[in-house]
Chains A and B, each alone.
Chain A
């Protein structure tokens, strides 16, 4: 089955223009719109196939986080709360008064924060990974994902490519990686801002404060272990962690329908 077409657009927000991808069914639907936030760096491109599938039965939108993709950047390094503020600008501009939210890595923190800031608007939350770091791990990832110097010989982009290959799930081809890899390289001077915001965010605190139902999808990727620590923190009785052994980066493209089935099952429960 083929999905619906994905279109792109801009709205104005507090940091400038916000770029987004959108897919929706041909006929009106009563299902709540789903708003998606991407990982760092990358962009809404990672949701392209997923939008096409989810858009079959509900309006599904993926925002380029300010400073990523084609969205204008903040003027200084932002916090997750700033990204959530921009998401509220997008919801306002598109007149969305009741939504579900979904996030991938850094985006999962944005989704949580959007729910905290807009409790009457956000219903259910889907998080692809919910990494909670120890202090030692935090120090390590801050080093790993901080600003990087550009090489003369291209070894910096080669290392990024190798990292993308390493963390891709089985079956993800080099062409699949190539289709999204460029998005990691946009706005190179500030592309570390997303991780920087993510590592400063109190995810454990937010997880235990949010009262909406949360589905944590746990693929076997680079934060598989760190995500296990979210167990027991979430408030709503329907909240849970769903392990996805064997899945890793690229699952939104390789397991699009399976992911959509899981997510629809959770969002459409009530």
Chain B
């Protein structure tokens, strides 16, 4: 049987906010594909892409950075915006001498993709967004309240509640063991772990997404942003939404092969059209 995975290694590069921690997978021989950059959700880290990188990296250089302030990446010194995160990703591209990339984002990471694509239209070819978070004003107000700075409680009920929330949003088939692997990252840096959501809620996703001229594929699993992502319908210049009603959080681990197939088909299509 052919080994369909490639090793995922970690390393650091320097960026404007300090060290940026990366997970990197690459084929043994350069297959000539444009490299792929993957941005994670908030809080969490590039660990969510670990399994995925091992497969998508078999035919292209694939890199998942920890967003500054998450995982092992140094934080900005003050509250960052999505534009700051995008700028940090340019630092990664420069450090690795990547002239042009495709980008994948997951929730907050999707917004970073959009901002990066707008800031550097010549360096971003195509975008794959797991969810396109377009919130109403009422949702934003509720989310800001819910995803603010977590206050630790002496009896630990705050960590138990967070665990239950992770289990609640785990997609079909994503076991407790899977959740536990990612859960530690969600508890890191409780003093600033809300910065990612804060940046996401300040980002005018609807307006910015509608400005993107590159091809966009929105993957819409049945997770906490399924409704919000449907609001991207009709506003994209060159995009389409793929509904994935049987998938939820964890699909990168559970449906890795199918996800790679969908993403490769989109990225490697010869035309500039999303369809």
Contacts and interface: CB of A to CB of B under 8 A. Distances in A.
Please say whether chains A and B are actual partners in one complex.
Answer: yes
B156 A157 contact: yes
Nearest to A162: B156
B96 interface: no
A178 B19 contact: no
A257 interface: no
Contact of B152 (A7, A70, A174, A187): A174
A152 interface: yes
Given A8-B12, A152-B167, A182 B152 contact: no
Contact of B19 (A7, A174, A175): A7
Contacts of B183: 157, 185, 188
Interface stretch (B100-108, B158-166, B258-266): B158-166
Size class of the contact patch on chain A: 20 to 34
Most buried by A among B159, B180, B185, B189: B159
A187 B47 CA distance: 11
A157 B187 CA distance: 11
A224 interface: no
Interface string A17-28: 101000000000
Contact of A157 (B9, B159, B177, B189): B159
B4 interface: no
A186 B180 CA distance: 8
Interface in A134-158: 150-155, 157-158
A186 B71 CA distance: 11
Contacts of B176: 150, 152
Contact of B10 (A19, A157, A182, A187): A19
Nearest to B179: A150
Contacts of A186: 184
A179 B190 contact: yes
A181 B187 contact: yes
B190 to A, nearest CB: 4
8 contacts: A150-B177, A153-B160, A153-B164, A154-B159, A158-B157, A185-B180, A187-B181, A188-B184
Interface of A: 7-10, 17, 19, 70, 150-155, 157-162, 165, 174-175, 177-179, 181-189
The 10 A-B pairs with the shortest beta carbon distances in the complex, nearest first, are A161-B156, A154-B160, A154-B163, A174-B152, A185-B184, A182-B187, A158-B156, A158-B160, A178-B190, A188-B180
